[in-house]
Each structure stands twice: as C-alpha cells, then as structure tokens.
Amino acid sequence: MNIIPNLADIEGRQWIGGFCQELIARLKGRGAADFPPRDQWGRGDPELVRKYERAGMTHFYIRKNAEGRKIVLYTAVIDPEVAKDELNVMVEESGCRLLLHTLCTGPILEGNAVKGVVLETKSGPQAVLAKVVIDSTGDGDLIRDLDTPTDGYMRPGSRIAQFGWVYWIANVDLDAFDEATEKDPDLWPALMKKITEEGGRPFFSRGLLEHQKGVVWIHRLLGSMHQTEPEEMTYIDTTARRTAVRSWELLKKYVPGFENSFIMLSAPQLGTSGGRRIIGEYYLSEKELDRTEPYEDTIAVFADNDRGDASVSHTHTFIPYRSLIPAGIDGLLVACRAFSSDYEFQEFFNLIPHCMCLGQAAGAAAALAVRQGTDLRRVPYEDLKKELLRGGAILP
C-alpha cells in the first residue's frame, strides 16, 4: 500500500499524529513521501486539485467543502519499499525485538486471562509468555477461539466486503500517453472499454514520487464475504494475479506509452478489508458516527472525510480506549481492524493511519499496565493521554 490518507479533515485540521506522522516525516527525509504543503490542506488551489485528479487519486485527495468548492486533503503517498525498511528501523530503535517468519497460532490462556502466545515457525512451535498481549493481526487471529463476543458482518458490496490487491507497472511513457489522449479525448475511454471487454482492468493511478516517474499502480478490489477462508482466499489470489497480468498485457498491446512497460511489483499478500472484530468494552456502532463529544478515554481522533455530505458537517470522530478491550478477557488488547466496531464504522475507519493510532495507544496502555502492575482496564487515562501526547498523538 502506498497511500496514507485522511491525516487532516476537510477544514485542514490535522488529527493523525504520533507514529504515523513520524513515519511520514522520516520517509520525506528519504525522498520517499509526498504530500500537499500544509498551507494547502483544506484549500482548493486549482493546480493542486488538477494534479491529484490527473493522477487518478481523486478519492484520496479531493473533497468538497461546505461552500461546494473542491479542496485538497492532507494525504501522503509513500514508497512502500522504503517504508518497509523505515518501519523496521523504527521498531528496532524503540528497543523491541522483532521475530519475523513466524505465525502466531493462538493465545496461551489461564481461565479468561491471556498469558502469552503460541507461535509456529520453520523450527517448530514456540511459546512466548507476556504480561500483556496485543493482537495486531488485522483479522483478530488471537480472538478466534476466545470466549468473547465477536462480529464479522459486512454489507455486501461495501468497501470492506472486498479483498484488495495492488500491483505496479514501471517504464510507462506517460508523456506519450498524455499526448495521445489529449489529442484524441475519445481514445482513452474507448481503450478502457476494449480492455475491459477483453478481460482486463485498465484504470490506473500515477506514482507521485519524484523517483517514480513512469510508474503507475493498479488497485484491484475483489468482492468477498469470507475473508478468512483459505479456499476463498486462494480463489481470489489466483484470480487477482491472472487479471493483473492480463490487464498489463492489454495495456501494453493497445495503450500509447505502455509499449515497454513491465510489472515491477505485486502485493506480497492479499489485502483483507473486513472480517472478524471484537464486541468489546465499548462498541463503536453506526450511531457513533455522528457523535460530537469526545469520550472520557479518547485515544485517537480520526478525520471523517469519507461519508459524503455527512463529512462536511461532521469533520472528525473519536475513538475510546475501551474499544480495544475484548469483553470478559484479561491481558489482551486488540489494536487492528478487529477493534470493537460494527460494519458501518469499519467502512470508514479501518485504514492504515487509523490502525497505526490504535497500535500506538495499545502499546502505550500495555507499557503503563506493566510498569504500574495494574490491569489493562485500570490504566489511568491521564497517564495514557500524557504518554500518547508525548508520542505526538493529537487528542482533544
């Protein structure tokens, strides 16, 4: 993934800080992030609007404000390869020990308390004991077999009821593409129709980073109501890959500028968008979407940019710490897409910046609980807030 969206609201107020902002700043320092200048967030410089529309990035960058004018959001594009390295660096600098190539297969339980995890590795199974465990598997793998209520409903056709899979095409002569399509405005619509009829998916977005000239990326979404079932995942995986190669072959064959292109990168794993979620100590349901007051344990604020007209009047949304705590279970926090929320809430608030904020809050709360020798439910909010602010979070 290369887009970190919705860092500020439609009025230009930044809400996502913390690790997410730190990552973007570090990547910017390595020439591996790009975003609109701060004085343009929430504003409608026509040049900038045109830049993102032309790049096929309208959904991530452009909204209409209360006056109906197009404005630019604070969204960052990043180089995913540099980001993989920078994230490792950040983890190592923090003093954490990384263990990759390891699948966590379940919790170690004592009654209703999680005491560690079981891992499967190439060298055989291992166990890790812990005072606090945080499930950041995206799919809530650790809660699968726990005695705690969960919800996995997705509305058919919604964003989260789809697998995603991204691939990148390099060595595209976009000047030639622009020249041909500007000379004949009917050409690209006609070619898109032809490619679709022949089994391809032609719509692409442009790489915006300086070193990604001539690079485009294609974001495929494939509907699925069963995003943790291996047979379904296998079908979606093979279908996505086949369509990707077919699409590139057709682009190369028909579209000016793609003659010498090649697929340079495809996502190493299918992207799950929906799936299992806890119904925790606080359940964020559809009715919370219009809430205007912070919670007494607010750990994050998310710009509310994706709900059409509702977003214009309701610019941001609050997240309580309790939404990370599974009901009836001790020693476990859930800090990923599987946080306590219904399908409507997920539809808008389970993206990368959101999950990074949840992760930062869970890490801070876990550290406090261990340091203070207290239960996760009793971590003093004032301490948690102080710790999050120290880490750059933006809280009310």
Nearer to ligand FAD, 301 or 352 (CB): 352
CB of 360 to ligand FAD, least distance (A): 11
Contact string 127-156 vs ligand FAD (x = CB under 6 A):
---------xxx--x---------------
- Region at 285 (left for phi over 0; alpha for psi -120 to 50; beta for the rest): beta
Please choose, out of 39-47, 91-99, 160-168, 170-178, the segment that lies near ligand FAD by the rule CB under 6 A.
160-168
Binder among 18, 202, 271, 275 for ligand FAD (CB under 6 A): 271
8 binds ligand FAD (CB under 6 A): no
d(CA 64, CA 307): 12
Within 206-225, the residues that bind ligand FAD by CB under 6 A are 219
Interface residue with ligand FAD among 49, 57, 154, 166 (CB under 6 A) is 166
Q: Is 330 helix (H, G, I), strand (E, B) or coil?
A: strand
Task: Draw the binding track, 299-338, toward ligand FAD (x: CB under 6 A; -: no contact).
Answer: -------------------------------------xx-
CA distance between the termini of the chain: 29
Instruction: Tokens for 100, please give them.
Output: 């990759």
User: If you ran DSSP here, which 8-state letter would residue 98 be given?
Assistant: P
Q: Whole-angstrom Cα distance, residue 391 to residue 389? A: 5
Decide if residue 4 touches ligand FAD (CB under 6 A). yes
Say how many CA atoms lie within 13 Å of 240 toward its Cβ.
Answer: 25
Contacting residue, 247, 273, 317, 323, with ligand FAD by CB under 6 A: 273
Is residue 340 within the footprint of ligand FAD (CB under 6 A)? no
Query: For ligand FAD, which is the closer residue by CB, 103 or 127?
Result: 103
Beta 133-135 vs 332-334: how paired, if at all? Answer: parallel
- Answer yes or no whether residue 103 interacts with ligand FAD by CB under 6 A: yes
Residues in CB range of 325: below 8 A, 6 or more apart: 280, 281, 332, 333, 334, 340, 376, 377
Torsion angle (degrees, nearest 10) of CA 135, 32, 166, 168: -160
Q: Does 96 bind ligand FAD (CB under 6 A)?
A: no
Helix axes 352-372, 381-390, angle to 10 degrees: 120
Q: Name which of 303, 318, 317, 393 is nearest 41 in CA terms.
A: 303
Query: Which of 82, 90, 104, 225 touches ligand FAD by CB under 6 A?
Result: 104
**Least Cβ distance, residue 296 to ligand FAD (angstroms):** 25
Between 107 and 126, how does the x/- string for binding to ligand FAD read (CB under 6 A)? --------------------
Q: Give the interface with ligand FAD as residue ranges (CB under 6 A).
A: 1, 3-5, 103-104, 136-138, 141, 164-166, 219, 271, 273, 336-337, 350-353, 355
